[in-house]
Amino acid sequence: MVSLWNPQRALAQETDGDCLDIWVKPEIQVEGLIAPPQFDNSKSSDQIAEVARQSGYARSLNQASLLGLTYAFTGPNIAVETKFREARNGKRCIRLERVKFSFGARSTDVYVARKYRQGSCAYDAILNHEMEHVRINERIVREYVPKIEKELAARSAAIRPFYTSDVKRAGQSIGNRLRFELDPLLDDFNAARLAANDAIDTTQSYTATYAKCSDW
């Protein structure tokens, strides 16, 4: 069962001066993941379009077939470390010690329709376009690392030591709280990434790509 963070419950956490004395500024580690692309030239245009639909790639949903696609899995992950001190009341005073957060491209799959074989002009034109998407994703990840570090540092520092009878559950609650509080910034990250990718998926861009080759 997942322990969900409850704002009202968080405000009611028991603490006192003795417990608050063990507070230290939590260490923050943020990793922006940039997985090297994996290339797939085995699928038809229709199959690539199906990959796009299943992945929720918005701009591709209305297209029956696709010549190429870049799909990056960007799920975030958070891990917290805590320390505690035994208290006279039979409970433990717990503090947040360290937060490790990762986000970005955990995997990147680049598809080129199998109709176009490696070494052909069309294959290279499609691949060059998809690699633009790869570079865009990498750039947005790098831009958001310092933003997430700043936000996570502020949110983590605001979590003061408190008493608990279940250290493991308390740690899970802290992690859930921080993940919840980061959601707006992660939404911004995803929106920025999609907007930057959409900017090169235009009629003008596709026309320019087609004009490079005659073997379509």
- For 29-69, the pLDDT digits (tens) are 999 999 999 999 999 999 999 998 888 764 545 555 689 99
Residue 3 located in a structural domain: no
- Asked if the structure places residue 145 within a domain, the reply is yes
Owning domain of residue 132? 8-211
The Cα–Cα gap between 148 and 165 comes to 31
- 2 in a domain, yes or no? no
Ranges of residues in the chain with a pLDDT under 70 are 1-12, 57-65
Q: How many CB atoms lie within 10 A of CB 119?
A: 7
How many domains would you assign to the chain? 1
Confidence (pLDDT) at 6? 53
Q: Is residue 49 part of a domain?
A: yes
- Supply the pLDDT for residue 59: 53
What pLDDT sits at residue 63?
Answer: 58
User: Which has the closest alpha carbon to 133: 69, 188, 55?
Assistant: 69
Rounded-to-integer distance, Cα 175 and Cα 5, Å: 9
DSSP state for residue 25 in the 8-state scheme: P
User: With the C-alpha atoms ordered 191, 192, 193, 197, is the resulting torsion angle positive or negative?
Assistant: positive
Evaluate whether residue 79 is within a structural domain: yes
**Predicted pLDDT of residue 1:** 37
What is the predicted pLDDT for the residue at 213?
95
The pLDDT of residue 2 = 41
pLDDT of residue 73: 84
pLDDT at 88 (0 to 100): 76
Residue 1 is assigned to a structural domain of this protein: no
Q: Is residue 216 part of a domain?
A: no
How many whole angstroms separate alpha carbon 41 and alpha carbon 67? 10
